[in-house]
Amino acid sequence: MARRPRLFAPGLLYHVIVRGNQRRKTFYDEPDYRAYLDRLARYRQRYGYTIHAYSLMPNHVHLLVESSRSPLGKFMQGLQQSYSQYFNLRHRKVGHVFQGRYQAIVCQKDAYLLELLRYIHLNPVRAGLSKDPKGYPYTGHQAYLQGKPTEIIDPRKILTMVGGQAGYRNFIRDGMGAGHKGEYYELQDQRFLGAEGFGENLQETEEQPAPRKRKPIQAVITALVRKLGVSEAQLRSADRSWRISKLRTMIAYVLVRRQGYGLKEVAKYLKRDPSTMSVLIGRLAERMEQDSEVRHGIEQLLKIV
């Protein structure tokens, strides 16, 4: 059955599940987990998302997030691409780190917010990775035990709902004996978790924005070269000087990795070999992980397009 398009609107509750490619490990050790959490904090702040719960398992991730006005896809793309670049660079690997399409379940907030939060934070216990959730450091559980906001989670709203830190501990303890909840994955229309008719009502009430019409590639490049102080003729010329090659690669990265233009389309416009351009874009992505100046330069270009 064909996949349904994702529903997006501000304030929706999503249970996001991201799996390792071919069920392989996505986290090998402490630095890997910390690298993902650092990026989760960064992109949460950048896009104004609320993270209610998270659980990083060796080969998959659970997130319980509430959307802002920025699309979920934009938030997840930044998070997943950034970590994948880090992972491949650190472990000398190539290819996909995560399974191609993450699962994003739109959940009825009143009915499932607390239940899913508990279910996600107890995931390591069900998997046999820890006897107690506080013994597993890669979930949002500690933020609720301590009762203080972190860069990822502000626990105060949930704690008010469950009766403070003591109420939260009791709430988690009450769920310790529960096993896998198959009903959390029994979805309406492959996308919705809620009471009967929840998905249909949501689709009727939430007006979906019209698909954004992609600008012609020349229009985007014209805006970018104006910012960079280089001409389109130079980009498309045989000039292989360091400066022109660098700017050409930065523009190609923005177009291909962040704006979704096809590699062959961009390479053809810039009069470059697609394979060579792919290698250069990959190298730039690796440099961004280590060089904040390069990363800042890309972010400035993204503001234009």
> Is 211 within the bounds of a domain?
no
Token pair belonging to 302: 């993204």
> Is 232 within the bounds of a domain?
yes
| CATH number, position 24 | 3.30.70.1290
110 and 132 part of one domain: yes
Which of 182, 205, 228 terminates a domain? The answer is 205
17 and 128 part of one domain: yes
190 and 240 part of one domain: no
223 and 177 part of one domain: no
DSSP 268: H
- Please determine, for residue 47, whether its predicted confidence score (pLDDT) is greater than 80: yes
Q: Per the confidence metrics, is the pTM higher than 0.85?
A: no
49 and 77 part of one domain: yes
Helix locations, the chain, DSSP H: 30-47, 72-91, 109-121, 123-126, 141-146, 156-162, 164-174, 198-205, 217-228, 232-235, 242-253, 263-270, 274-290, 292-304
Counted domains in the chain: 2
149 and 234 part of one domain: no
Name the residue range of residue 175's domain: 13-205
Q: Give the pLDDT band (50/70/90) at residue 1.
A: very low
Q: pLDDT tens digits, residue range 258-275? A: 777 888 899 999 999 988
Q: How many Å apart are CA 13 and CA 158, to the nearest integer? A: 14
120 and 222 part of one domain: no
Which of 148, 179, 205 terminates a domain? The answer is 205
> Is 210 within the bounds of a domain?
no
Which of 205, 227, 261 terminates a domain? The answer is 205
| CATH number, position 298 | 1.10.1750.10
- Please determine, for residue 189, whether its predicted confidence score (pLDDT) is greater than 60: no
Q: How many Å apart are CA 14 and CA 189, to the nearest integer? A: 15
> Is 50 within the bounds of a domain?
yes
- Please state which of the ranges 140-154, 233-247, 274-288 shows the lowest mean pLDDT: 274-288
59 and 18 part of one domain: yes
Contacts 24+ apart (CB under 8 A), 204-210: 206/7, 206/9, 206/12, 207/9, 208/7, 208/8, 208/9
93 and 193 part of one domain: yes
Mean pLDDT, the chain, whole residue set: 86
- Please determine, for residue 76, whether its predicted confidence score (pLDDT) is greater than 60: yes
> Is 7 within the bounds of a domain?
no
> Is 36 within the bounds of a domain?
yes
Q: How many Å apart are CA 265 and CA 280, to the nearest integer? A: 16
> Is 121 within the bounds of a domain?
yes
Q: How many Å apart are CA 213 and CA 49, to the nearest integer? A: 25
pLDDT confidence of residue 181: 76
> Is 178 within the bounds of a domain?
yes
Q: Give the pLDDT band (50/70/90) at residue 2.
A: very low
Provide the β-strand partners of residue 105: 15
- Please state which of the ranges 129-138, 197-206, 224-233 shows the lowest mean pLDDT: 197-206
184 and 227 part of one domain: no
Token pair belonging to 129: 């990775």
Continuous segment of H or E residues that includes residue 13: strand 13-19
124 and 242 part of one domain: no
pLDDT confidence of residue 133: 95
187 and 69 part of one domain: yes
